[in-house]
A and B are shown apart, each in its own frame.
Chain A
Amino acid sequence: MTGIAFAMLLTAALAGYMLNRRAALALRDGGQRLHSLGMFHGLYAALAVLVPAVIVTLLWVALQTPVINALVMAGLPAGSLDGADAGARQLVQAEIQSIAGGRVFGTPEAWKLEAAERLNALHATSGWLLLLAVAAVIAGALLVTRRSVAAQFRARQAVERIIMGLLIACSVVAIFVTVGIVLSLVFESIRFFQMVPITEFLFGTSWEPQIPIRADQIAAEGAFGWIPVLLGTLVITFVAIFIAVPVGLMSAIYLNEFASPRFRAIAKPVLEILAGIPTVVYGFFAILTVAPAIRAWGAALGIPVAPNTALAAGGVMAIMLIPFISSFADDALSAVPRSLRDGSMALGATRSETVLKVLFPAAIPGIVGGVLLAISRAIGETMIVVMAAGLIAKMTINPLDSVTTVTVQIVTLLIGDTAFDSPKTLAAFALGLMLFIVTLMINIVALRVVRKYRELYD
């Protein structure tokens, strides 16, 4: 039905364009002076059809499923959902949906079959109503625009106003995305904090999200203190930054000061390859090559090494961050005005003295900005740690031990779990909120530092 609706409104837009253009040209041929070209009269009609009709269709498609589901669930015979919590309701809803889709497992109760039938009927009705609504919008728009064709009608201005509105709408989408992120995280986190006190989450030192599903089940009590998770994140981030910053800085200095143009032309793109490799590949590399190598070294040296060390995850993350830091440092060094460099050289300083004592101090703000962005990346990096770091939260700062991170916990808590009401699932959103806040603060500071520094020398 949605496909038919879109086909309908595209043809209508085309028809509106042709009709209005022809009408305008007929006026011109009749000897009147048109204010706008015939094309703009046509475009005005096409846009006037497209914009409202597309909005109606998209809203309809987005809202029909939740509305229909709510109607079906509300229409279930009284008593069939008694005593069911939200999870059980979701199960019933999923079952009804799969029956409606023709996938019947076993022999469901009669009221479920009935509900499935009603679901299908509602979907069919909704499809027809959508077509009707779109047709009404199209007809209205065509009528109104057709009547607007006149020699004095400022069609170009009207078209440009609509287009300007569309452009503004496009740029506001980015704000909506941010608002959406904040709202969804905050909303789910508030539900989490209703079950687990916020102080326990922020200051608790034990993270054991395994909660008993049934009352008689033997499982951990469930503890949601994020301190050990945060500590694990910081350990891995520290390892990554500790390796990536010196290597990245040194390579930037070499590329900027010592390398021949030919070497630079080859080395820089090759370094960029490291930044373009998907993180899931790095994760696989970590479990396949780096972690066994670290275990072998540990065994050779007689040091106890956990199977999923923070060192392996952090080390591989460092490889990913090297080109990131290197290109930021390179930009910062290049942005130092030539006069500083020339002045230093003219005083007889060697290249290394120029770099270390003149360029580097001048470039520090840019480099710090880059390192901050790298830290925020390391904190938010997911796939490498999901594959290479551990699952159990420990209060340790030993990089040879197995630690877990915020992102690992988010992914493991949410994979394959759809119930939206257990503290286990909601905890992921609370962690996500913390992650968002922390990285946002780092990013804002970093972007401000970088920007301010650029303005200094421009």
Chain B
Amino acid sequence: MTDNTTNAAVTHRHDWSSDRFQGNLARRRRGEKILAGLGLGAIALAFLMLAILLWTLISGGAQAFRQTHVAIEVPISAELVDPADPSEGNYRNVVRDAMQATFPDAEPSELRALSGILSNAAQFVIRDKVVADPSLIGQTVSINVPASDPYDQLQKGNVDTDSDESTRRLNDAEIAAFQQLQDQGRITMPVNWALLANADSRFPELAGLKGAIIGSAYALLVCFLISFPLGIGAAIYLEEFAPKNRLSDIIEVNINNLAAVPSVVFGLLALAVFLGWFGMPRSAPLVGGLTLALMTLPTIIIATRNALKAVPPSIREAALGVGASRQQVVFGHVLPLAMPGILTGTIIGLAQALGETAPLLLIGMNAFVTAAPSTPLDAATALPTQIFIWADSPERGFVSRTSAAILVLLGFLVMMNAVAIFLRNRFERNW
């Protein structure tokens, strides 16, 4: 009897179909589902954030790739522009005359406000035309110039015309005047090449990224020229030649830590050493490039070491076996084989440097510069610092331009990373 009861208890404990075990199993399977669900939710959240970010930028920036232009006929009277000295004419009044011709009913007192429809650049466009061809004086020329920012926003539908007049930048009369221009078919919205072809400006309709792109290009060039040879040299020494001693250990730890130093600290270093001690010029892409080079150096060293490590020892032994010296092995065989990996790492490091902002702010690459730099020693901005400046600007037109500038920056980053991925897939070998 006693045997029987123990047997029954044992079978009961192992009866998988009993409610207790089924419940247990269901609970465990539920736990499985919950964890998977949480994980999927986390990834979905991250994707959602990326989607919102990109959508914000694209929907906001798309507007900036078009710019409202006004086509207008400008009578150039000899009274305002002296044929003997066309560059010194009163072009402000020339624009005023043009507005009078376009709006024959307008009172003289309204012309000032009407001239405001055109960008501030209108008078300079006319001046350049007349200086290039003085025979235009006394004739009427047609020009197609950007509209100023408030009207650009109106054309793009960013102004609520039904709202209280005092809360808008344009009053009803101004909107009516612009409406009149629209009815005359003078308003067009061509592609905004000025965004890439112009340098920075106080006026959103004229502001462009040329200076920033060239500044960034100079800085990256300097960064590459310094960090690439230095990084490869350091990596070759550490990976192939360095004896296992204290100094090598210190260098190794040091490089790993350098990779994790906050970027703003590099800015402080540049400010104190390059600007303070060596007296290099402020805001110069050369100094920016030097600073970025110091930051990129650890990235390139680490990437190069990994690429060198990936080359199998058999290559080295074969070369040594036929009598090559250790340096001939490295420079003749290992380095060429590791080159695709090194280039991939370098491009990724440069892409990081292109997006770096904080150190450039500290060395003054957030200056307001209205001309593109012609040498790496001229004052300039870089793409990320230009984005920072525009994000700080109060004009409505700069909001969409900031998004557009970010899209341009992201475009460059995507291109660089695409090249890196292409190199990796095309040339990197698995031994």
Contacts and interface: CB of A to CB of B under 8 A. Distances in A.
B208 interface: no
A279 B357 contact: yes
B264 A174 contact: no
A280 B355 contact: yes
B236 interface: yes
Contact of B278 (A66, A420, A436): A66
Interface stretch (B50-58, B141-149, B192-200): B50-58
A190 to B, nearest CB: 12
B357 A447 contact: no
B210 interface: no
A167 B413 contact: no
Interface stretch (B95-103, B153-161, B402-410): B402-410
A428 interface: yes
Contact of A171 (B36, B238, B277): B238
Interface in A364-384: 373, 376-377, 379-383
Nearest to B49: A319
A281 interface: yes
9 smallest beta-carbon distances between A and B, as pairs:
A254-B39, A380-B262, A278-B355, A170-B233, A184-B272, A250-B42, A382-B358, A171-B234, A167-B237
B262 A435 contact: yes
A341 B31 CA distance: 18
Contacts of B40: 254, 258
Given A352-B32, A382-B357, A432-B265, A287 B42 contact: no
A382 B262 contact: yes
27 contacts: A66-B277, A170-B229, A170-B230, A177-B297, A180-B273, A181-B266, A184-B272, A184-B273, A251-B46, A254-B38, A254-B40, A254-B42, A276-B355, A278-B355, A278-B409, A280-B357, A283-B391, A288-B60, A355-B35, A380-B264, A382-B358, A383-B388, A410-B362, A411-B358, A415-B366, A429-B272, A447-B257
Interface stretch (A102-110, A158-166, A203-211): A158-166
Interface string B50-91: 101100110010000000000000000000000000000000
A173 B410 contact: no
A177 B258 contact: yes
Interface residues of A, number: 94
A178 to B, nearest CB: 5
A166 to B, nearest CB: 6
A163 to B, nearest CB: 6
Contacts of B256: 443, 447
B170 interface: no
Contacts of A435: 262, 264-265
Given A280-B384, A284-B406, A420-B276, A271 B43 contact: yes
> What's the dominant secondary structure at chain B's contact region?
helix
A276 B32 CA distance: 32
Interface string A384-411: 0011000000000000000000010011
Given A163-B327, A173-B297, A274-B49, A251 B358 contact: no
Give the size category of B's interface with A: 35 or more
A440 B261 contact: yes
A174 B304 CA distance: 15
Interface in A317-331: 319, 322-323, 326
A358 to B, nearest CB: 14
Interface in A429-443: 429, 432, 435-436, 439-440, 443
A253 B35 contact: yes
Interface stretch (B115-123, B131-139, B247-255, B313-321): B247-255
Contacts of B364: 416
Which of B46, B364, B399 is the most central at the interface, judged by chain A CB atoms within 10 Å of its CB? B46
Contacts of A253: 35, 39
A175 interface: yes
A247 interface: yes
B325 interface: yes
A342 interface: no
A245 to B, nearest CB: 11
A251 B257 contact: no
Given A180-B273, A280-B387, A281-B406, A247 B45 contact: yes
Nearest to A249: B42
Interface string A261-305: 000000100110110111111111101110000000000000000
A246 B358 contact: no
B356 interface: yes
A274 B251 contact: no
B257 A178 contact: yes
Contacts of A416: 364
B271 interface: yes
Interface string B285-305: 000000000100110010000
A278 B297 contact: no
Which of B34, B278, B298 is the most central at the interface, judged by chain A CB atoms within 10 Å of its CB? B278
Contact of A411 (B41, B294, B362): B362
A267 B36 CA distance: 15
A382 B35 CA distance: 35
B391 A411 contact: no
A137 interface: no
Given A160-B327, A188-B272, A387 B388 contact: yes
A386 B361 CA distance: 11
B357 A254 contact: no
Nearest to A410: B264
B409 A174 contact: no
Contact of B257 (A169, A288, A444): A444
B152 to A, nearest CB: 19
A376 B406 CA distance: 26
A432 B268 CA distance: 7
Contacts of A156: 325
A407 B358 contact: yes
Contacts of A432: 264-265, 268
Contacts of B45: 247
B263 interface: yes
Which of A156, A171, A271, A383 is the most central at the interface, judged by chain B CB atoms within 10 Å of its CB? A171
A69 interface: yes
A438 to B, nearest CB: 10
A342 to B, nearest CB: 18
B28 interface: yes
Contacts of A274: 46, 49-50
